[in-house]
Amino acid sequence: MSTYWPEFLMVAAAHLMAVASPGPDFAIVLRQSLLAGRRAALLTSVGIGTAILVHVAYSLLGIGIMIRSSDAAFSVVKWAGAAYLLYLAFRCLTAKPAVEDPAMAPPGAEEGRGARRGAFLTGFITNVLNPKATLFFLALFSAGISQQTPRWVVAGYGVWMAFATAAWFCLVSIIFTQASAVLRFRRHAHWIDRGTGVVLLLFAVKLALAARS
């Protein structure tokens, strides 16, 4: 097993840099943290981490190569992801100012009840429909992992990446659901929502214009 430690450390480092870079996942977790409450943000984070297992599974099965090599398959994933980001952006951009005093209710007490029901799926779908994640895992599995590495070891890499992704975004969730941060930002909740909407809209456009490079 010690033979695979250098490869694992390389995979873990590449994945850490990818997951820590700003993207739709970070934007949606930040929004959930500030406006929907800690539980919703944590569930969203777990959803994102679980989606990593999907990327790992189709990479192991060789489906990722088909997606990259087929214009039609890549376009389906690309447009589905862009459409979902547009849907999230529309919901954020149409947010209305809160009627009640934000300081009177704990974070997530009202909006969080509805948000928590779909929080896991929000994180899961946001990540699984991102073709950039598909291309990252395809590159990682084709260039970063030796063909001689046993499948069970590669599957172990995937489990680690799923755990690390969820852990990273759970940490982000905890940081941005501190009482001081929430009270400061929730007074401007609808502007945060609209700002998130603009960011997601830009990511949707970028995704729609993405090529299979």
For 108-166, the pLDDT digits (tens) are 444 545 556 689 999 999 999 887 787 788 778 777 788 788 888 989 999 999 999 99
Q: Write down the mean pLDDT value for the chain.
A: 80
Average pLDDT over residues 38-49: 94
Look at residue 105 in the predicted model and tell me its pLDDT.
45
Give the span between the Cα atoms of 213 and 205, in whole angstroms: 17
Look at residue 142 in the predicted model and tell me its pLDDT.
73
pLDDT at 53 over 50: yes
Average pLDDT over residues 196-213: 75
Look at residue 110 in the predicted model and tell me its pLDDT.
45
Picking from 21-35, 40-54, 106-120, 141-155, which range would have the lowest pLDDT averaged per residue?
106-120
* Residue 35: how many other CB atoms lie within 10 Å: 26
Question: 181 falls in which pLDDT band (50, 70, 90)?
Answer: low
Look at residue 179 in the predicted model and tell me its pLDDT.
72
| Core vs surface per residue 84-102: b (16+ CB within 10 A) or e | bbbebbeebbebeebeeeb
Which among 204, 160, 175 is positioned nearest to 49, based on CA atoms? Answer: 160
pTM over 0.85? The answer is no
Question: 104 falls in which pLDDT band (50, 70, 90)?
Answer: very low
Look at residue 103 in the predicted model and tell me its pLDDT.
43
Look at residue 163 in the predicted model and tell me its pLDDT.
96
